[in-house]
């Protein structure tokens, strides 16, 4: 379980300080599919970065079971990220001079998982192994980044607007691959979006506004990537 308690974070200097996270607390169970919903600028990315250990909060705690990652040294925090969490961002951040296979293998090697070819197959890219990112469409590049993130078998997959740069058809396809892999495996999903419709795919919907949680709700029935509105 991830347990977040009273997280605060500000940016800027003393005279020009902006409090972006104003005391956020929540729990996410193992295997849960949580969506964080909120308008642009509401603090979603900052929150995700703090919960995943990419950034440090000013105060508050973030516990993965009994490990409080806010107390870890920089080296230990890096090791934690390597072993425990995977990331997918709106921009794909693939290495341009490496093939699909090598990009995914790099993710797998982080956790010495040798089944990376299987995961490339699972996202429907086994015929693109030797292609470079520039030879792929946006949707295909995002599927490579899905494969790379999951190749190391993270316990928690963090996604920050994963379909933000994709058109509807491609966006649905990428979400469908993520949902399929989620069903087959046992990782936890924390996905940021500003698209209300995408929240219909989640177990739990956490609404953020101006650095605070304003609502948490559960979906009785989850929709598929092809059933949601867009
Ligand atoms: N590294 C940073 N330095 C200064 N301000 C930042 C930084 N990151 C985010 N902010 C500010 O924090 C606020 C929340 O940003 P963000 O967490 O990216 O929101 P969201 O992801 O919901 O759009 C914004 O006003 C943004 O300008
Ligand atoms: Mg953001």
Residue with CA at minimum distance from ligand 1 atom 8: 46
Q: Is 215 exposed, middle or buried (0-12, 13-18, 19+ CB in 10 A)?
A: exposed
The structure's pTM equals 0.96
45 CB within 6 A, ligand 1: yes
Ligand nearest to the CA of 211: 1
pLDDT at 115: 82
To test the pocket of ligand 1, the residue of 11, 193, 213 to mutate (highest count of ligand atoms within 8 Å of its CB) is 11
Cα gap 62→3, rounded to integer Å: 6
Ligand nearest to the CA of 160: 2
pLDDT at 111: 67
Ligand nearest to the CA of 37: 1
Distances (CA, A) of 190 to 31, 114, 139, 185, 230: 10, 25, 20, 15, 20
Residue with CA at minimum distance from ligand 1 atom 13: 41
Residue with CA at minimum distance from ligand 1 atom 17: 43
Q: Coil, helix or strand for 30?
A: coil
Q: Coil, helix or strand for 214?
A: strand
9 CB within 6 A, ligand 1: no
Ligand 2 centre and the CA of 205: distance in Å?
16
Ligand 1 centre and the CA of 126: distance in Å?
37
Distances (CA, A) of 168 to 6, 122, 158, 174: 36, 21, 21, 10
192 touches 163 (CB < 8 A): no
219 touches 203 (CB < 8 A): yes
Residue with CA at minimum distance from ligand 1 atom 1: 11
How would DSSP label each residue in 41-65?
A: TSSHHHHHHHHTTSS--SEEEEEET
Distances (CA, A) of 192 to 100, 101, 195: 25, 27, 9
Ligand 2 centre and the CA of 43: distance in Å?
7
Cα gap 18→12, rounded to integer Å: 6
Residue 163 CB partners (closer than 8 Å, separation 6+): 142, 170, 171, 174, 175, 193, 195, 198
Instruction: pLDDT tens for the chain, 230 residues: list them.
Output: 999 999 999 999 989 999 999 999 999 999 999 999 999 999 999 999 999 999 999 999 999 999 999 999 999 999 999 999 999 999 999 999 999 999 999 888 776 677 888 899 999 999 999 999 999 999 999 999 999 999 989 999 999 999 999 999 999 999 999 999 999 998 999 999 999 999 999 999 999 999 999 999 999 999 999 999 99
24 strand-pairing partners: 7
193 CB within 6 A, ligand 1: no
pLDDT at 110: 72
pLDDT at 108: 82
Cα gap 111→31, rounded to integer Å: 20
Residue (of 61, 46, 90) closest to 210 by Cα position: 46
**All domains of the chain, ordered by start, with CATH?**
30-55+82-218 (3.40.50.300)
Ligand 2 centre and the CA of 32: distance in Å?
21
Counting atoms of ligand 1 from 1, which one is nearest the CA of 194?
22
Distances (CA, A) of 100 to 108, 179, 192: 12, 21, 25
């Amino acid at each position: 379980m991830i347990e977040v308690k009273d997280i605060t974070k500000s940016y800027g200097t003393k005279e020009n300080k902006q409090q972006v996270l104003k005391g956020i607390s929540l729990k996410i169970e193992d295997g849960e599919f949580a969506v964080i919903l909120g308008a642009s600028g509401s603090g979603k990315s900052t929150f995700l970065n703090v919960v995943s250990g990419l950034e440090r909060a000013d105060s508050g705690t973030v516990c993965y079971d009994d490990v409080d990652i806010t107390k870890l040294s920089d080296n230990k925090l890096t090791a934690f990220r390597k072993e425990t969490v995977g990331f997918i961002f709106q921009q794909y951040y693939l290495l341009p001079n490496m093939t699909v296979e090598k990009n995914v293998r790099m993710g797998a090697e982080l956790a010495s998982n040798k089944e990376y070819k299987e995961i490339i197959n699972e996202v429907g890219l086994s015929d693109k192994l030797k292609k470079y990112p520039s030879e792929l469409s946006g949707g295909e590049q995002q599927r490579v980044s899905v494969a790379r993130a999951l190749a190391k078998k993270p316990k928690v997959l963090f996604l920050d607007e994963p379909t933000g740069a994709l058109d509807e058809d491609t966006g649905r396809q990428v979400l469908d691959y993520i949902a399929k892999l989620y069903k087959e495996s046992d990782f936890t999903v924390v996905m940021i979006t500003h698209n209300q419709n995408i929240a219909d795919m989640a177990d739990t919907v956490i609404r953020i506004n101006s650095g605070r949680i304003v609502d948490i709700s559960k979906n009785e029935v989850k929709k598929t990537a092809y059933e949601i509105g867009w």
